[in-house]
């Protein structure tokens, strides 16, 4: 395959495919498109380098909570991951090296934000708006994901705080935290990673917890040089390790974390033992004990979070926050917590990320309007009324139990099949509304007794109406069966 057929198209040229985002999804799609000879192809990326969420989340302690040999692309293997759970810089470097090795860099237009697209029925193409000018493309593949709009809490007085205040996903590295009084709001996956790091340097750290998370042991460790050498020499050994990790998550975590089962109870017992071992003080332990079922929120893994909370310079505050002032946080009991810095570890606005896509489909309908009853897409990938538009990690394709990279790979396969149909002469490919409705009914039925609905908690998985429009309610194997190959009967070719 020559690189020239895939070089970025000139501004006026109609692209065969425009990929939005150069994170895991967008890069995986671009690699596969190149391998399939699809072009002209371009990737637009709002940032100045590849990596997506792994470029944006640079907070101290950022790392993957899925083992790296599993949290990587099967067709871009890396034998020498340094740790069981790679730190963020290593994952970002992996994505950069992967993009370079596959010749993607000339195809990526950095510093370009997608601001919307309108389907042109007569010409069967998308007119895409970006902050760097318009682009025409026959097909769009969104690799934007859902976890990139930081959510800031709606706390009165938030803007009045006089000191530096920033979100974990927009870390301000210019702020020196040494010796400072720091408040961290939130106790999710980002917080459990950042808190132990901040605690090491802070004068005092106050952690504001609304809901305690379930935390399992992490057992992170460096991967021995001999193991890396073996994985380099014998790729089969690395593949076996990947398969072992996949099935471990697929079976044990799936059964324990997605429905209330015997394994849920066993996992809770393990997490309670982990807590009891790390926190002997019964009062602190009580504050850290969840009152909902494990799996209802994302199950966290950490070996250093609980020990960090025992440090003399750390306070766990469980009183609700009443307001923020210039000097710090006031809790509802009237206590003032004076702070120099506030860190928002308050997660992402997932629903808004998708809804904000200013996409106008075939009959002039906006995607946000198509989703007034909640987000939903056929296989999480395509939406009726929006031909030639494909989403990677779209609605209902997140996971609570396994690596989302395995979901991305299934979706890339599905999209490639659709793109192939376009290459074979179809002007447009669009999911049939009845196929989409059938798929969504199936999802909703499976969701009914899931732990996310029945586990007694409120999480970012659920939208304002309490619908889970973010997670896949079944195993990865089931998703592969469902989505890997396109059932052409479910699509209408135009």
Residues that bind ligand N01 (CB under 6 A): 64-65, 147, 153, 155, 168, 185-191, 208, 210-211, 298, 321, 345-348, 460
Enumerate the β-bridge partners of residue 126.
119, 137
For residue 58, what are its two tokens? 């640079």
The CA distance from 317 to 186, in Å, is: 11
Closest contact distance (angstroms) between CB of 77 and ligand N01 is 19
Closest contact distance (angstroms) between CB of 298 and ligand N01 is 4
Triad 140, 146, 148: Cα angle to 5°: 105
Closest contact distance (angstroms) between CB of 134 and ligand N01 is 33
The CA distance from 68 to 92, in Å, is: 12
Taking the least distance from each CB to ligand N01, the nearer of 153 and 164 is: 153
Closest contact distance (angstroms) between CB of 459 and ligand N01 is 7
Contact 99, 52 (CB under 8 A): no
Taking the least distance from each CB to ligand N01, the nearer of 24 and 386 is: 24
Taking the least distance from each CB to ligand N01, the nearer of 28 and 155 is: 155
Taking the least distance from each CB to ligand N01, the nearer of 14 and 331 is: 331
Taking the least distance from each CB to ligand N01, the nearer of 168 and 411 is: 168
The CA distance from 46 to 115, in Å, is: 10
The CA distance from 405 to 155, in Å, is: 35
418-421 long-range contacts (CB < 8 A, ≥24 apart) are: 418/139, 418/382, 418/390, 418/486, 418/491, 419/16, 419/17, 419/33, 419/36, 419/38, 419/139, 420/36, 421/486, 421/488, 421/491, 421/493
Cis amide prior to 371 (ω within 30 degrees): no
Closest contact distance (angstroms) between CB of 220 and ligand N01 is 11
Closest contact distance (angstroms) between CB of 289 and ligand N01 is 14
Closest contact distance (angstroms) between CB of 375 and ligand N01 is 16
For residue 228, what are its two tokens? 């890396």
Taking the least distance from each CB to ligand N01, the nearer of 108 and 345 is: 345
Taking the least distance from each CB to ligand N01, the nearer of 150 and 164 is: 150
């Amino acid at each position: 395959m020559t690189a020239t057929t895939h070089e970025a198209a000139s501004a006026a040229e109609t692209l065969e495919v425009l990929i939005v985002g150069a994170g895991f999804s967008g890069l995986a799609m671009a690699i596969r498109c190149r391998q399939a000879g699809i072009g002209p192809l371009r990737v637009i990326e709002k940032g100045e380098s590849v990596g997506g969420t792994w470029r944006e989340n640079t907070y101290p302690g950022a790392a993957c909570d899925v083992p790296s040999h599993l949290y990587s692309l099967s067709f871009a293997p890396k034998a020498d991951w340094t740790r069981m759970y790679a730190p963020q810089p290593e994952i970002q470097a992996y994505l950069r090296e992967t993009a370079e090795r596959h010749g993607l860099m000339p195809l990526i237009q950095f510093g370009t934000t997608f601001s919307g697209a309108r389907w042109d029925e007569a010409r069967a193409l998308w007119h895409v708006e970006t902050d760097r000018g318009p682009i025409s493309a026959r097909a769009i593949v969104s690799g934007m994901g859902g976890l990139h709009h930081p959510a800031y809490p709606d706390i009165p007085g938030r803007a009045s705080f006089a000191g530096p205040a920033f979100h974990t996903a927009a870390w301000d590295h210019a702020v020196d935290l040494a010796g400072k009084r720091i408040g961290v709001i939130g106790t999710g996956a980002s917080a459990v990673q950042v808190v132990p790091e901040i605690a090491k340097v802070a004068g005092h750290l106050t952690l504001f917890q609304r809901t305690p998370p379930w935390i399992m042991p992490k057992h992170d460790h460096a991967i021995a040089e001999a193991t890396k050498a073996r994985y380099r020499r014998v790729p089969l050994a690395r593949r076996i390790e990947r398969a072992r990790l996949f099935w471990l998550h697929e079976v044990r975590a799936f059964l324990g974390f997605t429905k209330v089962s015997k394994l849920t109870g066993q996992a809770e017992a393990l997490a309670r033992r982990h807590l009891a071992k790390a926190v002997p003080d019964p009062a602190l332990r009580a504050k850290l004990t969840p009152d909902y079922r494990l799996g209802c929120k994302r199950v966290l893994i950490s070996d250093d979070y609980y020990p960090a909370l025992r440090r003399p310079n750390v306070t766990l505050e469980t009183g609700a926050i009443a307001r923020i002032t210039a000097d710090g946080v006031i809790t509802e009991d009237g206590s003032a917590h004076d702070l120099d810095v506030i860190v928002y570890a308050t997660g992402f606005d997932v629903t808004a990320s998708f809804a904000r896509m200013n996409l106008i489909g075939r009959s002039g309908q906006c995607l946000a309007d198509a989703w007034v009853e909640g987000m939903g897409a056929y296989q999480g990938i395509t939406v009726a009324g929006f031909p030639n538009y494909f989403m990677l990690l779209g609605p209902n394709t997140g996971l609570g139990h396994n690596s989302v990279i395995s979901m991305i790979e299934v979706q890339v396969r599905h999209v490639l099949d659709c793109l192939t149909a376009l290459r074979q002469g179809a002007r447009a490919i669009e999911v049939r509304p009845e196929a989409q409705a059938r798929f969504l009914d199936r999802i909703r039925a499976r969701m009914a007794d899931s732990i996310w609905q029945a586990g007694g908690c409120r999480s970012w998985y659920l939208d304002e109406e309490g619908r889970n429009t973010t997670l896949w309610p079944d195993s990865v194997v089931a998703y592969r069966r469902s989505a890997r190959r396109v059932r052409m009967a479910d699509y209408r070719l135009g």
